[in-house]
Structure 1
Amino acid sequence: MKQFFKFVLASVVGVIISSIILFFLFFILLSGLIVAAGSDKAVDVDANSVLHIKLTYPIAERTPNNPFANLGFLGIDGEKTIGLNDILASIKKAKTDSNIKGIFLDESYMMSGQATTEEIRNALIDFKKSKKFVIAYSEIYTQGFYYLASVADKVYINPKGIFEFRGFSSEITFLKGALDKLGIEAQIIKVGTFKSAVEPLVLTKMSDANRLQVNSYLGSMYDYFLTGIGKSRNINKDSLFNYANSGRIQQPEDALKYKLVDGLKYKDEILSELKQRTGAKEKNDLASVDLSDYVKSSSKTTTDPKEVSSTNRVAIIYASGEIAGGDGDDNSIGSETISKALRKVRLDDKVKAVVLRVNSPGGSSLASDVIWREVMLTKKVKPIIVSMGDVAASGGYYIACAADSIIAEPNTITGSIGIFAVLPNMQKLFNDKLGITFDGVKTGKFADLGDVSRPLSPEERAMLQNSVNRGYDDFTKAVANGRGKTQEYINSIGQGRVWTGSQALKIGLVDRLGNIKDAVQSAAKKANIKDYKIVSYPEQKSFLDKFGQGLSAEVKAHFVKAELGDNYRYYQQIQGVTKMMRTPQARMTYEVVIK
């Protein structure tokens, strides 16, 4: 028996020692991979090269800090995702890069909002001023990619390809039927006739007010879409509308017939044309550089010598994702994180002006108010300009309204000035479906306010309604003060109604239409500086920081996306609905998807 325990003890010690050794070996291997994958070695671009742009991934505001993007490690995306900031910087650099002769827009899906696509499209239009070419090709043209590609000198499609041109649609997932089957009642407290975020919980179809507003802003976006294509392709906007509405574009030949494309070609024919344009021999390989590689060279250089020597700074603070209390990350806005960033740039004497880049459907009304306060304080010290991305609605508009000026894209989704709260009543689920009952004691009449095992009493509902009313009053007052309007006027265009950037300009919710570059220039002008460097906040966490905090959320998101594909947005919508059942919200719960 003594020998048995010796062997057991030796085995246990051996396992522990082996585990320690394996951990250190793993850590050394991980460190080596991070160093190798994260090295930003500049890429040499051959003479007479083509910049190859293929956008088949969701486009965030900033490139994620993920050194394993090209390796596929620990379940994290193996595909390199490039942020809007680096895409725009690369196109700008390519414009003056003597080694780049043109851009090849290869088949892409444009998994981005309309404002993001607009930013890239405008960058391509600016690139063409250099007299360099832009060629677009795809086997399948989604409407989003065609809008981008329509600015190209030549637009080609595979002879057997697919060309989608049918108009815009917006779809909302309604959950009331499912909640009824489960015995769950969504108790709604809200302010705003158009505040439709709660409709999926209490209706089975759109309300008349919501249908009115969606028709309005979707029509505005579609009109801008057709106008842009018409201008690029020299086709009357009304003709484009008729092509889509009558279903005339069904085959690639139809797209060619109606001058939406310039030719039907296979990939080898495209490569041959690119070789001719760059002066390469047919038997030789095409000199090209992928966008992901070109970013490495463009991010480390600047074409403006004034920027190199300047001590002035214009800070861009990226506020992207849903708004919540605490710390955030690349995909969410934490009130504490953004507040710290605003305080940091406010106290930094080198920072002369601030651009707050907002791309958010909103979220917690309390967290939004916390950030709004920091914007107000910053405005008292130095200029702060808001640049709106795909969406800056509800809480996303709340944090923007105090700025000196607001700049939006024509197809930005904004407004949605309203507040709501949702409290589930799960009594039927517990009692009738599961056979669970509850009993207890309390020291005060309202001690168990918010208990989901029973419905709200009339008094409790009135208390919550008063709280939401106060939140809406604070919201409209903040907008009125920030925009120089009366609170009555803001209430008339508020009520939770959603607007596009173009519509918001007409009613005074934004000051001008433009992109993030325009916002930076506006901030610099207001600060009366001509030479400056651009710095970004909040600082992105390193991969080791993320690894130390755990990667479960990123790994989970990766596998869910891989499994659901395009249907991932429905998963996100349901997640958004469940998040509403916590605190008073200033948010939209759905997005406009243009395929």
Structure 2
Amino acid sequence: ASLVTVFILIGMVSLILSSASKSASHSVVENSILHMRLRGEIVEKHRPLDFNFLGNKSIFSEEKSIGLYELTRAIEAAKTDSRIKGIYIEMRGFGAGWATLTALHNKLEEFKATKKWIYAYGDRYDEKSYYLATAANQIFIQPHGEVEFNGLGMNQPFLKGLIAKLELEPRVFRVGKFKAAIEPLILDHMSAENRKQNEELLGDIWAEVRKSVATSSKIEEKRVDEIAGGLLAVSAEEGQKLGLFTETIFEDALEDRMRGFTVGKDEDLELVTPGQLLRDSTATAKLQGAGPKKIALVFAEGEIQSGIGSSDSIGSETFREDLIEAKEDEDVAAIVVRINSPGGDALASDVIWREMMKVDEKIPVVISMGDVAASGGYYMASAGRYIYAEPTTITGSIGVFGIMFNAEKFFKNKAAVNFDRVVTHPYADIGNATRPMTDLEASKIQGEVERVYKRFLDVVQEGRGYEKREDLESIAEGRVWSGTRAKEIGLVDEIGGLESAVKKAAEFANVKDYKIVMYPQQTDPIMQFIERFSGDAVRSWMGEVLLGKSGYANVRALGQVAEQIPLSQVEMKSGIYMRMLKDIKIQ
């Protein structure tokens, strides 16, 4: 029966892929509009097998993913395609990091500079969606729409009290007073150092938002702060009066208006999705590039770990193989590594760094930073001969930590479980969570953390060319920086996006005509289906069967809280970590 089920599932996949292929063959005609309906998570690159045939929901994830790379390429194609008259952006509740939004915003500004128009529409706007909308010629909102424009904030949970109640004893090892990844486990509030770096980070990102809003609305930046600080715009009507919106209008009325100046009021709007445009050979002819040489684009997205990676993690073995494959292609003249990672396993980071250094000896390696390239992510980046970051990128976090727990009292007093041990040598079970750690064991682990930190400093000093060690040490200690400040202190070379990095790589390689090729190559769709179905999808289905939808939702919500701290990523593994906080959520 199980074999029959597998064949049925594979058959379903084939039918879905076939259907998707047919629907994607929509041709681009005259007077078309590039329709960017933003709903779901904007990731670095599109994950093809998203199974979004049930609308915007995916079987395998809460929302379908949208690829930043594909969005920007579609906008680039639309710039010179005479059939595309403008862009219509629908804000439908999307998620994205600030650097992702900056990259998309800048690309839309390029499009607008061609004298084509951009309309943005939404029922609700928050700081992120409105920041993106400021790239449009006109910004529209539903007449009874809602506005949340009250500045940026960060709310972090601290679990010291919970851990004490559970009678767990965390043992922390770190170097760097700004290394805040472990703070939720040992404090009940932000440290002074952590608060300082978070305030500066929020300030730098808000400065970019404020500048764009002021430019778009034609008001002074001081007035933008007054609007946010006084809750002056919480409704569509208030926002329009303050100049934040061009007009309040219903969606169907706006579509009628666009229909009138494109295809005619009695015709259907010709809306083209980014995916459809990128499948049109006429639109993408200039994007393909020319000449035999290639610039390889290698994506590094997610947590860094040893071994095999996935679509949302960076495995040291997998990533090395991607680099080697690109390097061994005789037509590849240079490599651009796109990093969007908060770091992870220290040894895996070093393995990847070493391979990148070896590749750079043969062909140039240029770095493009996404939303986050911090801690182990920055360790990787330091291997590049040139580094680009967006002003809103989060980077730095040059620090190291390790954490272990003594759960002896928890097991004994909360679970009525005792453990006994037999060893050949006194420290054979070092790191065992069922007994207290000795002072000797603790000193050895702290020594390793300090050794890894020294190695981290060595790598950055070599890669970035700091002449004086004290200059580097003063900006390290685990501190995070915005891309803007990172350029000022020498952690990055230039403010810019992925396209700038590709051009710089071609310049280093001394090639003018080239094609861009992506690594890793897209996985076979059937294998993607098997990988997805064997993991989260099955867990989700089983969870709902066993706990009911509401029960499973509660368990997931608890898990999402746990993800805000390094618990799930660190303490159950041995090793030393170069990692910033799980997610810095700036809202």
> 1:523 maps to which residue?
505
Q: Is contact 2:121–2:139 with CA below 8 Å preserved after alignment?
A: yes
TM-superposed deviation, 1:170: 1.1
Kindly state the Cα deviation for residue 23 of structure 1 after the two structures are TM-superposed.
5.3
Q: Residues 567 and 125 from structure 1, CA distance in 2 versus in 1: closer, same or farther, beyond 3 angstroms? A: farther
Q: Which amino acid in 1 is paired with 2:181?
A: A
Write out per-residue CA displacement over residues 360-408 of structure 1, whole angstroms, 9 at most, x where no aligned residue. Answer: 0000011100000011111111111100000000000000012101100
* Matched residue SS, 2:284: coil
The DSSP-based 3-state class of the residue aligned with 1:108 is: strand
In structure 2, relative to structure 1, the CA distance for the partners of 1:67 and 1:465 (3 Å cut) is closer
Q: Distance in 1 between matches of 2:171 and 2:218?
A: 52
Looking at structure 2, the residues matched to 24 and 569 of structure 1 have their Cα atoms a distance apart, in angstroms, of: 34
2:567 matched to which residue of 1? 577
Q: CA deviation at 1:337?
A: 0.9
* Residue matched to 2:470: 488
Q: Which structure 1 segments of 5+ residues have no match?
A: 1-15
- For the Cα contact (< 8 Å) 1:172–1:590, is it kept in 2? no
Cα separation, partners in 2 of 1:531 and 1:128, compared to 1, 3 Å: same
Tell me how far 1:299 sits from its aligned partner.
Answer: 10
1:248 aligned residue (195, 214, 232): 232
Over aligned residues, Cα RMSD in angstroms? 2.5
CA contact (8 A) 1:109 1:144 kept: no
Q: Distance in 2 between matches of 1:90 and 1:261?
A: 26
- Tell me the residue number matched to 1:348: 329
Q: Which amino acid aligns with 2:430?
A: L
Distance 2:281 2:555 in 1: 32
Matched, 1:290 2:273: yes
Structure 1 stretch 578-587 or stretch 464-473: which is displaced more?
A: 578-587
CA–CA distance in structure 2, aligned partners of residues 428 and 298 of structure 1: 66
Letter in 1 for 2:581: T
Deviation at 1:573, TM superposition (A): 2.0
Listed one character per residue, the Cα deviations across residues 508-536 of structure 1 (whole Å, up to 9, x for unaligned) are 00000000000000100111111000011
2:218 counterpart of 1:228: no
**Structure 1 residue 25: deviation in Å?**
5.1
In percent, how many aligned pairs have the same letter? 37
Pairing of 1:542-557 with structure 2 (within 5 A): 542-549=524-531, 551-555=533-537
- Once residues 9 and 211 of structure 2 are traced to their aligned partners in structure 1, the CA distance between those partners, rounded to angstroms, is 56
Q: Secondary structure at the match of 1:386?
A: strand
CA distance in 2, matches of 1:345, 1:42: 31
Answering whether residue 57 of structure 2 is matched by residue 59 of structure 1, we say no
Aligned-residue offset at 1:87: 0.6
Q: Is the 8 A contact 1:65 1:542 kept in 2?
A: no
Instruction: Choose 1 or 2 for highest CA Rg.
Output: 1
Structure 1 counterpart of 2:416:
435
**How many angstroms does 1:563 deviate by?**
4.3
The answer to whether the 8 Å contact 1:87/1:295 transfers is no
Q: Distance in 1 between matches of 2:215 and 2:555?
A: 33
Distance 2:185 2:62 in 1: 37
Deviations 1:268-305 (A, max 9, x none): 22112212331512x33222223343343379832257
Equivalent residue number for residue 42 of structure 1: 25
Question: Deviations along 1:31-86, whole A, 9 cap, x unmatched?
Answer: 34334435685321232122111111101111102063335899335965331111
What is the aligned partner in structure 1 of residue 546 from structure 2? none
What is the aligned counterpart of 1:535 among 481, 505, 517?
517
TM-score by length of 1: 0.91
Match of 1:154 among 114, 138, 151: 138
C-alpha distance 317-481 of structure 1, shift in aligned 2 (>3 A): same
Aligned residues of 1:314 and 1:524 also touching (Cα < 8 A)? yes
- The residue number in structure 1 matching 2:188 is 204
The one-letter code of the counterpart of 2:427 is F
Give per-residue Cα distances to partners, 1:80-102, cap 9 Å, x unaligned. Answer: 53311111111111111222111
* Corresponding position of 1:513: 495
Instruction: Assess, with a 3 A threshold, how the Cα gap between structure 1 residues 82 and 299 changes in structure 2: closer, same or farther.
Output: farther
What's the offset of the Cα at 1:132? 1.1
Question: Which amino acid counterpart does residue 525 of structure 1 have in structure 2?
Answer: E
Residue 328 (str. 1) matches residue 309 (str. 2): yes
Does the CA contact (< 8 Å) of 2:13 and 2:529 recur in 1? Answer: no
Give the Å deviation of 1:572.
6.4
CA gap of 1:299–1:333, structure 2 versus 1, over 3 A, is farther
Alpha carbons of structure 1 residues 160 and 184: separation in structure 2 relative to 1, 3 Å: same
One-letter amino acid of the counterpart of residue 353, structure 2:
W
Distance 1:290-1:497 versus aligned 2 partners, 3 A rule: same
SS at 2:481 equivalent:
strand
Name the amino acid aligned to 1:584. I
Q: How far has the Cα of 1:109 moved from its partner? A: 2.6
Consecutive unaligned residues of structure 2, counting only runs of 5 or more, are 544-548
Aligned to 1:4: none
Superposed, which structure 2 residues align to 1:135-214 within 5 Å?
A: 135-214=119-198
User: Do 1:48 and 1:279's aligned partners in 2 also have CA atoms closer than 8 Å?
Assistant: yes
